[in-house]
A and B are shown apart, each in its own frame.
Chain A
Amino acid sequence: MRFISRAILFLLAGSAIAFADGITPAALAKDGAVTRDRHLSEISDIMRGGRGGFFDLGFYFLPSRAQTPLLSEYGEHKGFAFNHHFAGFGAGEVAKGKHMGALLWFDRSGWDGEDFLFFPNYGGFSIQHSVVTWGLTFTDVQKDLTVAAGMQHLNSEHVSRIYPHEEDSLAYTWAHLRWSKLSAQANFYRSDWRLFRFSLDLESRSIYGGRKSGPLTYLPNVSLAMYNADSENDVDSLRITWEQNLYGQQLYGEVAYDLPDGKFHSATLKFYPDPSRMIGFEATCLRRHPHSGSNDFLWGGAIDLLFARLAYNAAYDYDNFFGAKGTFLVEFKFNLATIDGMLFNRGASRSAPIETDVVKQFEKGSKPSEITPLNSKSGAPKTIEAKGIRYEKVGNSGSSEGGI
């Protein structure tokens, strides 16, 4: 048994190095655009509620410098691709049913000959850049309306000679509008548009006041994103993403198609043991773009354990971590979203079960005839322990009357 576990560990370590494919300078140079798009896509998820809060912090962990080599025109350079990210959003109620908030998303990514947390080596082949997205939000709960707008800044910290030119700019602006289940997003560079995204989140989610089960939870979430890479006002690429609840908001399928050529981009089967998405497992299939030098299918998967995400050839990492392929990645991270006191992970449909119990207790607490507060002096029940038993019975059976 010990030998088998050691063999598996050895194979994992081997797979992390032996089959790792190089990262191209082109993939690193266009990461600014990819990150800006990802920020807005994540903001779109959080703005489904438009109130509450969100926190995210994480970084990729690569023990070996052979895991993400840089494939330059001179050869294969050993080093570390890196991504450090942070995001925060908080909103408060300024008038009844009206919430105002602020958000900040930050990513620092690139490649360096040495690994680091804060101070890179800035070697002859390294690239470091960061993207900041910030904005202000306003949500009207009665009208089910959210408006958010802000700016994006791309800061090229260090770019060595082998990389293609990338626009270093403070001049990106973005706006997000959500009305009920329909949302639209726009991103501009000066007066040129860069992105329009239209999303239809039809799935009924209990955290936003929808159903916990039933046919309405099986409605799809569809998103159409149009990209324009240059100053001309034509559509350079288009992507349709279809997310579908397959079973009890625990099993989801997600398919992305690239238009106008109608080519398949990726498919993901996601399983969340709990619909709050604290823990997730996914299997992915991605069609590599001919630009990458190959046009094959990449099969992979990932395990998300709240504090760490383990992945091998996952579509998300290929898209967002410079086309990393053939290496075992670990991302240390923590993210949590909250709305009306409920906790969940980004994109979830229901809150974490522990928090649901707390909400039930609060509901019960509002009926003084049934439950007396712990610190009350008069009319308290003879034994305090009895209340604990009462809560537990309410939580388990769902009935309003728990007996002692």
Chain B
Amino acid sequence: MKSIFKCALSLAAVLACCMTLTGCLSHWFVDSSSRLQFLNSTAAKTIVGLDVMQQQDTSAFRTWIDETVLPGERSRVHEEDWVGNFKLRIRYTQSPDGSGKESQFVFDTKLDGGSLFLIVQDEGDSLSVHFR
């Protein structure tokens, strides 16, 4: 009788561990959304938006940050459910005041969730990006 009780208790303990792991414990160290903010660190380019592109069709997209950010400024923090591997697009103009023709810079990125700070810099006429 005692051994049955012991067996049931250890089984319950194993099940409880698994349930907590599947249930909620992983939320303590895993983020299911990304909070993105970017810094326009270019000398004279204005960023007018940031989108997530469709992989198959680069003309289709979903806007993540819809803000005009002047050189030297930061965007606000925008939280979305993008966690995984995606193609991002930065829309920008070659002028410091947001006027002129819109260009775009597309790059692949891996988002693991949590707070992300993206620094956008000049690279000739185009841009370069890195997360900090």
CB pair B83 A78 closer than 8 Å: yes
Whether B1 sits at the interface, judged by CB under 8 Å, is no
Chain A residues near B86: list those with CB within 8 A.
74-76
CB pair B22 A116 closer than 8 Å: yes
CB pair A114 B32 closer than 8 Å: yes
The A82-110 residues at the B interface (CB cut-off 8 A) are 82
CB pair B27 A61 closer than 8 Å: no
A59 and B22 alpha carbons, distance in the complex (Å)? 10
CB pair B81 A69 closer than 8 Å: no
Whether A267 sits at the interface, judged by CB under 8 Å, is no
A75 and B15 alpha carbons, distance in the complex (Å)? 34
Given known A73-B56, A123-B32, contact A115–B85 (CB-CB < 8 A): no
Chain B residues near A73: list those with CB within 8 A.
54-57, 60
CB pair A75 B19 closer than 8 Å: no
Chain A residues near B84: list those with CB within 8 A.
69-70, 75-79
Chain A residues near B4: list those with CB within 8 A.
none
Given known A63-B21, A69-B84, contact A115–B26 (CB-CB < 8 A): yes
Interface centre among B54, B82, B113 (most CB of A within 10 A): B82
Whether B9 sits at the interface, judged by CB under 8 Å, is no
How many residues does chain B have at the interface if contact means C-beta atoms less than 8 Å apart?
31
How many residues does chain A have at the interface if contact means C-beta atoms less than 8 Å apart?
28
Chain A residues near B55: list those with CB within 8 A.
73-75
CB pair B62 A74 closer than 8 Å: yes
Whether A65 sits at the interface, judged by CB under 8 Å, is yes
Given known A75-B55, A123-B81, A307-B11, contact A61–B22 (CB-CB < 8 A): yes
Chain B residues near A115: list those with CB within 8 A.
21-24, 26-27
Whether B87 sits at the interface, judged by CB under 8 Å, is yes
Q: A233: shortest Cβ distance to chain B, in Å?
A: 35
Q: Which residue of the partner chain, among A62, A69, A113, contacts B32 with CB atoms under 8 Å?
A: A113
Whether A4 sits at the interface, judged by CB under 8 Å, is no
Chain B residues near A116: list those with CB within 8 A.
22-24
Q: A63-B26, A115-B21 are in contact. List 12 more A-B contacts (CB 8 A).
A: A61-B22, A69-B84, A73-B55, A73-B56, A73-B57, A76-B84, A79-B83, A113-B83, A115-B23, A116-B23, A117-B19, A123-B32
